């Protein structure tokens, strides 16, 4: 793994799919968007990330080429226009790869944010939130409320042990019996969990996407949430 | 002889002397016969018979094909062909697709549309490839041609949704609007809602292709448009359409034959989909009702659980494009096993050799296969190899056209394909690692490509790759007698390689070479052939200014362009990029500062 080789002075040695003289043109014209896509493509290749989840072939090493420890750490300098795949196609695959990374892993994107999709049952559109922008469940709850203001969300901030945001059993039961909406999330294992289960920091690390479900539908999640809760205690 | 519209190469006789009356009658009769002649090559031949035939042919030609927009001026073309209804124009050299031609090189549609606007009032069709067309040009089309029906833009740039809105609104007879792999200049936020601009009445639309238009659009407007377009048979939407919306479109247009599915996933994430119900099942019923579908594409951001929805149409599909869909072999197999009638298949190499084996087992009627790389870099793992190629050759004997990207190949597999698929017309093999030899024997790939030119007697287009010596070019020159298009990269040992090709390939029209050790002497050896070719491209070879200047001076009707990356590079002896083409005109005057014409 040698992403750091390209950390310093990367801009100087920047290898782009466009030609050197093109840089200035690209910045100023409408083609800048396209040019960026080409540059991003290269960056993703250099900053290969060893992926922990080997069972999900799709999320594993989407654009990485260096897995084999015997191979030299640095990929060969890329030649302009080779292999001869149209920039149009390359751009699409790059964008799809980025989307897929965010969808399947909810990982840090290039700028260190933790963007996850938020859907609400019955809403015609989705939103995205950066979990790193909030410090607690309360803050997230407020943000989501304003995003989906036409619907009601229950406040899922929990009472309980000071400093730890654990959900207690009684409050959970109250919530689920109502027809209010409850927030759920998909964790790294692919399980759908009730939000508020685990300490906030742990939640941010493990959350891949959020779904605000109708309370009645969320019932099936509760036993699992309880189980995980108990195991941790 | 010449493949171009100008028939006999030179300017041709002027028809300014009126022929005697009896000849005039004969010409009229001839015209009524010639209008049935549609092939441009036949027409070119007919125009060479005599002046009378030349004039009659010129008056009856409806389809104007111009393979290089700089080979002839609009004025000249219009002066000869006065009754044209359809124009095809091609601009930039193909290597522009791979960022080898700097932005702003040329190929502007403007001078053509300006002249055609005044001279071709009955123009119905325009098809442009690799040209720069601005919104103003689109506006000029809309206002100048009242009978305008078909617009196809392929790999073009320079226009935005503003121009599309004008076309939608003003071209009342619009039948075809096909936007294929174009660069649309909008920023996402500035995009105009062009779909809403189509007239409110029933339209004559037959084909609407806009998967390359990246910006979002008003879906309700599209749904309404589809509802009032009873003749619509082809619809390819962009990735802003998810399956829930696709269903609605399919319901409005059950007569569709060609469908581009957009993003083949739900608009809502999570188990069961946000809307409740079973979207997979609903989508299945949509496909079951679309009995006319023969061509499917799109599948961007595909969620494999939706793939079974297309099973009802698989058996009637003749064309399937999965080349933007990340699918594994296991995800492909249950789909492809139903596609017995498939003739065209585009796919990503993520399906691996195993996936290709599955294709070979079912698609015995396959004519065209394209396997694209997910990771288009030299060092990528590569998921397909000679094993996949071999399997395809055994299962698909009717194959005519193949484009295959891989990292590992053997001569044996290529030889096998040359024998199993004798109908091959297009063979494009791209071994992505440069100079890579046969993975088993370690030998150059000469024998494989040699077998292709030797055994595939109908071959007209060839792209070579891997480790290749001059021997490969000797084979190509000796056996590739019908080859019209040849693409060479990182190949050959010496000037001899290029000489073999120039001397041997008598039908060669388009030759594009990069990063190969061919120099001035080889370039000069081809002087007698360059007027028979549409163009020659050579980049990162061993050419010098002196050699190129010699060519330019020897051949006055050849435009010799030396293209540099920046203006400053223009002073070196070395020629980094050479693009030369025959032309009836003086060299163009619209070239940017980094292009020098010798």
Contact by Cβ (8 Å): B402, B368: yes
The whole-angstrom separation of Cα A184 and Cα B418 is 57
Which residues of chain A does B565 touch, with a Cβ-Cβ cutoff of 8 Å?
19-22
Among left, alpha and beta (phi > 0; psi -120 to 50; other), residue A157 is: beta
Contacts of B83 (CB under 8 A, 6+ apart): B59, B60, B61, B62, B122
- pLDDT-derived band at A148 (thresholds 50, 70, 90) equals confident
Q: What is the pLDDT, as a whole number, of residue B19?
A: 63
Max Cα separation, chain A? Answer: 66
Joined tokens for residue B294: 């023969």
Question: Count of CB atoms within 10 A of residue B54's CB?
Answer: 20
Which residues of chain A does B187 touch, with a Cβ-Cβ cutoff of 8 Å?
30, 33
Q: What is the pLDDT, as a whole number, of residue B188?
A: 65
Which residues of chain B does A71 touch, with a Cβ-Cβ cutoff of 8 Å?
379
| Shortest distance, CA A21 to any CA of chain B (angstroms) | 5
Q: What is the pLDDT, as a whole number, of residue A195?
A: 86
Strand (E) or helix (H) holding B258:
strand B258-261
| Shortest distance, CA B431 to any CA of chain A (angstroms) | 8
| Shortest distance, CA B20 to any CA of chain A (angstroms) | 56
Q: Give the one of B95, B185, B301 whose C-beta lies nearest to A81's C-beta.
A: B95
Q: What is the ipTM of this complex?
A: 0.87
Contacts of A140 (CB under 8 A, 6+ apart): A129, A131, A134
Which residues of chain B does A122 touch, with a Cβ-Cβ cutoff of 8 Å?
274-275
Q: Give the one of B271, B376, B381 whose C-beta lies nearest to A83's C-beta.
A: B376
Contacts of A160 (CB under 8 A, 6+ apart): A166, A167, A168
The whole-angstrom separation of Cα B65 and Cα B75 is 15
- Whose structure tokens read 């191979």? A71
- pLDDT-derived band at A32 (thresholds 50, 70, 90) equals very low
Q: What is the pLDDT, as a whole number, of residue B270?
A: 56
Q: Is the pLDDT of residue A16 over 60?
A: no
Residue A29 and residue B103: Cβ atoms within 8 Å? Answer: yes
Joined tokens for residue B65: 């094909």
Contact by Cβ (8 Å): A156, A195: yes
Q: What is the pLDDT, as a whole number, of residue B271?
A: 52
C-alpha R_g of chain B:
26
C-alpha R_g of chain A:
22
| Shortest distance, CA A112 to any CA of chain B (angstroms) | 23
- pLDDT-derived band at A117 (thresholds 50, 70, 90) equals confident
| Shortest distance, CA A18 to any CA of chain B (angstroms) | 6
Question: Count of CB atoms within 10 A of residue B242's CB?
Answer: 21
Q: Give the one of B102, B268, B381 whose C-beta lies nearest to A19's C-beta.
A: B102
Residue B99 and residue A17: Cβ atoms within 8 Å? Answer: yes
The whole-angstrom separation of Cα B235 and Cα B223 is 11
> What's the mean pLDDT when you consider all of chain A?
60
Beta strand A209-214 with A181-186 is antiparallel
Strand (E) or helix (H) holding B344:
strand B344-348
The whole-angstrom separation of Cα A80 and Cα B432 is 13
Q: Compute CA distances A66 → A14, A75, B449, whole Å.
A: 20, 8, 31
Does the beta carbon of B189 lie under 8 angstroms from any beta carbon of chain A?
Answer: no
Contacts of B544 (CB under 8 A, 6+ apart): B519, B520, B573, B574, B575
* Most A CBs within 10 Å, among B209, B297, B378, to test the A interface: B378
Q: Which parts of chain B have pLDDT scores under 50?
A: 1-14, 272-276
Instruction: Indicate the DSSP class of residue B154.
Output: E
Question: Count of CB atoms within 10 A of residue B495's CB?
Answer: 20
Does the beta carbon of B98 lie under 8 angstroms from any beta carbon of chain A?
Answer: yes
Q: What is the pLDDT, as a whole number, of residue A197?
A: 79
- pLDDT-derived band at A164 (thresholds 50, 70, 90) equals very low
Cis ω before A137 (30° cut-off from 0): no
Give the number of beta-carbon pairs within 8 Å between A and B.
141
Q: Give the one of B97, B276, B567 whose C-beta lies nearest to A87's C-beta.
A: B97
**Length of chain A measured in residues:** 233
Joined tokens for residue B532: 């028979």
The whole-angstrom separation of Cα B2 and Cα B67 is 11
* Exposed/middle/buried for residue B293 (C-beta within 10 Å: 0-12, 13-18, 19+): buried
SS3 of chain A: the string is CCHHHHCCCCCCCCCCCCCCCHHHHHHHCCCHHHHHHHHHHHHHHHCCCCCCCCCCCCCCCCCCCCCCCCCCCCCCCCCCCCCCCCHHHHHHHHHHHHHHHHHHHCCCCCCCCCEEEEEECCCCCCEEEEHHHCCCHHHHHHHHHHHCCCCCECCCCCCCCCCCCCCCHHHHHHHHHCCCEEEEEECCCCCEEECCCCCHHHHHHHCCEEEEEEHHHHHHHHHHHHHHHHHHC
Joined tokens for residue B15: 């028809």
Does the beta carbon of B230 lie under 8 angstroms from any beta carbon of chain A?
Answer: no
- Whose structure tokens read 């993975």? B439
SS3 of B455-518: the string is HCCCCCEEECCCCCCHHHHHHHHHHCCCCCEEEEECCCCCHHHHHHHHHHCCCCCEEEEECCCC
pLDDT in tens, B46-86: 999 998 889 889 999 999 999 999 999 999 999 999 999 99
Q: What is the pLDDT, as a whole number, of residue A177?
A: 52
| Shortest distance, CA A162 to any CA of chain B (angstroms) | 32
- pLDDT-derived band at A137 (thresholds 50, 70, 90) equals confident
Does the beta carbon of B382 lie under 8 angstroms from any beta carbon of chain A?
Answer: no
Does the beta carbon of B270 lie under 8 angstroms from any beta carbon of chain A?
Answer: yes
* Most B CBs within 10 Å, among A28, A41, A84, to test the B interface: A84
Which residues of chain B does A67 touch, with a Cβ-Cβ cutoff of 8 Å?
381
Contact by Cβ (8 Å): A139, A129: no
Which residues of chain B does A33 touch, with a Cβ-Cβ cutoff of 8 Å?
187
Residue B376 and residue A93: Cβ atoms within 8 Å? Answer: yes
Q: Is the pLDDT of residue A71 over 70?
A: no
Q: Which residue has the higher pLDDT, B144 or A141?
A: B144
Q: Give the one of A20, A85, A126 whose C-beta lies nearest to B268's C-beta.
A: A126
Joined tokens for residue B336: 């492809």
| Shortest distance, CA B537 to any CA of chain A (angstroms) | 14
Q: Compute CA distances B169 → A177, A193, B196, B213, B233, whole Å.
A: 54, 50, 9, 17, 21
Residue A119 and residue B274: Cβ atoms within 8 Å? Answer: yes
Nearest to B408 by CA among B435, B379, B442, B431: B431
Residue B378 and residue A186: Cβ atoms within 8 Å? Answer: no
Q: What is the pLDDT, as a whole number, of residue B409?
A: 97
* Chain A, nearest residue to B267 by Cα: A125
Residue B274 and residue A92: Cβ atoms within 8 Å? Answer: no
The whole-angstrom separation of Cα B417 and Cα B421 is 6
Strand (E) or helix (H) holding B371:
strand B368-372
Residue B269 and residue A126: Cβ atoms within 8 Å? Answer: yes
* Exposed/middle/buried for residue B510 (C-beta within 10 Å: 0-12, 13-18, 19+): buried
Contacts of A130 (CB under 8 A, 6+ apart): A113, A114, A115
Q: What is the pLDDT, as a whole number, of residue B194?
A: 95
* Most A CBs within 10 Å, among B97, B99, B159, B436, to test the A interface: B99
Partners of B150 in beta bridges: B125, B176
Does the beta carbon of B374 lie under 8 angstroms from any beta carbon of chain A?
Answer: yes
Residue B98 and residue A22: Cβ atoms within 8 Å? Answer: no
What residues 304-323 of chain B have any CB closer than 8 A to a CB of chain A? Answer: 323
* Most A CBs within 10 Å, among B134, B184, B375, B565, to test the A interface: B375
Residue B375 and residue A63: Cβ atoms within 8 Å? Answer: yes
Residue B102 and residue A22: Cβ atoms within 8 Å? Answer: yes
What are the b/e assignments for A168-200, b being 16+ CB within 10 Å? eeeebeebbeeebbbbbbbbeeeebbbbbbbeb
Q: In this structure, what is the dihedral angle of CA atoms B322, B327, B328, B333, given to the nearest 10 degrees?
A: -50
């Amino acid at each position: 793994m040698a992403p750091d080789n390209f950390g310093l002075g990367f801009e100087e040695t920047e290898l782009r799919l466009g030609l050197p003289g093109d840089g200035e043109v690209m910045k100023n014209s409408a083609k800048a968007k396209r040019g960026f896509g080409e540059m991003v493509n290269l960056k993703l290749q250099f900053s290969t990330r060893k992926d922990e989840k080997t069972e999900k072939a799709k999320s594993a090493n989407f654009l990485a080429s260096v897995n084999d420890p015997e191979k030299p750490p640095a990929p060969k300098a890329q030649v302009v226009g080779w292999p001869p795949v149209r920039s149009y196609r390359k751009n699409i695959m790059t964008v799809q790869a980025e989307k897929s990374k965010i969808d399947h892993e909810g990982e840090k994107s290039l700028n260190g944010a933790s963007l996850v999709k938020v859907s609400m049952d019955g809403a015609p559109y989705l939103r995205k939130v950066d979990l790193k922008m909030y410090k607690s469940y309360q803050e997230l709850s407020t943000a989501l409320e304003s995003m989906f203001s036409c619907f009601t969300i229950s406040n899922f901030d929990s009472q309980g042990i000071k400093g730890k945001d654990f959900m207690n059993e009684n409050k959970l039961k109250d919530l689920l019996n109502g027809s209010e909406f409850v927030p759920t999330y998909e964790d790294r294992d692919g399980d759908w969990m009730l939000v508020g289960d685990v300490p906030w920091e742990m939640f941010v690390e493990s959350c891949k996407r959020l779904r605000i479900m109708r309370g009645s539908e969320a019932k099936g999640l509760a036993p699992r949430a309880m189980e995980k809760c108990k195991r941790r205690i | 002889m010449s493949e171009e519209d100008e028939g006999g190469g030179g300017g041709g006789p002027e028809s300014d002397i009126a022929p005697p009356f009896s000849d005039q009658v004969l010409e009229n009769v001839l015209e009524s016969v010639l209008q049935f002649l549609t092939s441009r090559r036949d027409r070119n031949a007919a125009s060479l018979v005599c002046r009378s035939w030349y004039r009659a042919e010129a008056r009856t030609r409806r389809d104007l094909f111009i393979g290089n927009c700089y080979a002839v001026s609009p004025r000249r073309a219009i002066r000869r062909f006065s009754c044209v209804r359809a124009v095809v124009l091609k601009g930039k050299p193909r290597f522009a697709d791979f960022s080898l031609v700097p932005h702003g090189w040329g190929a502007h549609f403007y001078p053509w549309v300006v002249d055609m606007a005044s001279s071709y009032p009955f123009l119905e069709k325009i098809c442009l490839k690799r040209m720069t067309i601005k919104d103003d040009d689109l506006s000029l089309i809309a206002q100048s041609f009242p009978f305008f029906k078909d617009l196809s833009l392929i790999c073009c740039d320079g226009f935005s949704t503003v121009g599309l809105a004008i076309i939608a609104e003003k071209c009342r007879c619009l039948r075809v609007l096909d936007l294929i792999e174009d660069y649309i200049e909008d920023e996402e936020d500035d995009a105009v809602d062009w779909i809403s601009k189509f007239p409110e009445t029933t339209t004559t639309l037959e084909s609407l292709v806009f998967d390359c238009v990246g910006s979002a659009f008003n879906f309700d407007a599209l749904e309404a448009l589809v509802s009032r377009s009873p003749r619509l048979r082809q619809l390819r939407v962009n990735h802003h359409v998810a399956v829930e919306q696709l269903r609605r479109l399919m319901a409005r247009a059950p007569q569709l034959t060609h469908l581009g599915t957009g993003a083949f996933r739900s608009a809502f994430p999570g188990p069961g989909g946000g809307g409740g119900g079973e979207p997979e099942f609903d989508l299945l019923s949509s496909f079951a009702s679309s009995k006319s579908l023969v061509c499917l594409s799109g599948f961007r951001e595909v969620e494999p659980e939706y793939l079974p929805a297309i099973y009802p149409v698989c058996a009637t599909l003749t064309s399937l494009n999965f080349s933007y869909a990340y699918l594994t072999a296991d995800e492909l197999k249950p789909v492809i096993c139903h596609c017995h009638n498939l003739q065209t298949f585009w796919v990503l190499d993520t399906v691996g050799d195993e996936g290709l084996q599955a294709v070979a087992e079912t698609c015995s009627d396959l004519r065209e296969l394209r396997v694209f790389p997910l990771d288009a870099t030299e060092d990528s793992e590569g998921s397909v190899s000679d094993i996949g190629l071999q399997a395809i050759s055994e299962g698909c004997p009717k194959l005519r056209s193949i484009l295959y990207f891989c990292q590992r190949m053997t001569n044996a597999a290529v030889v096998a394909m040359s024998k199993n698929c004798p109908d091959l017309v297009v063979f494009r093999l791209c071994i992505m690692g440069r100079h890579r030899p046969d993975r088993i024997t370690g030998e150059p790939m000469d024998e494989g490509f040699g077998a292709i030119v030797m055994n595939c007697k109908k071959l007209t287009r060839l792209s070579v790759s891997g480790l290749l010596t001059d021997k490969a070019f000797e084979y190509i020159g000796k056996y590739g007698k019908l080859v019209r298009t040849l693409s060479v990269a990182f190949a050959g040992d010496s000037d001899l390689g290029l000489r073999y090709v120039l001397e041997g390939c008598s039908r060669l029209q388009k030759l594009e070479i990069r990063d190969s050790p061919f120099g001035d002497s080889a370039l000069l050896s081809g002087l007698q052939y360059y007027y028979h070719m549409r163009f020659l491209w050579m980049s990162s070879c061993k050419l010098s200014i002196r050699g190129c200047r010699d060519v330019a001076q020897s051949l006055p009707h050849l435009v010799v362009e030396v293209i540099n990356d920046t203006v400053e590079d223009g002073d070196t002896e070395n020629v980094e990029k050479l693009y030369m083409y025959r032309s009836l005109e003086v060299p163009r005057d619209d070239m940017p500062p980094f292009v020098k014409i010798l």
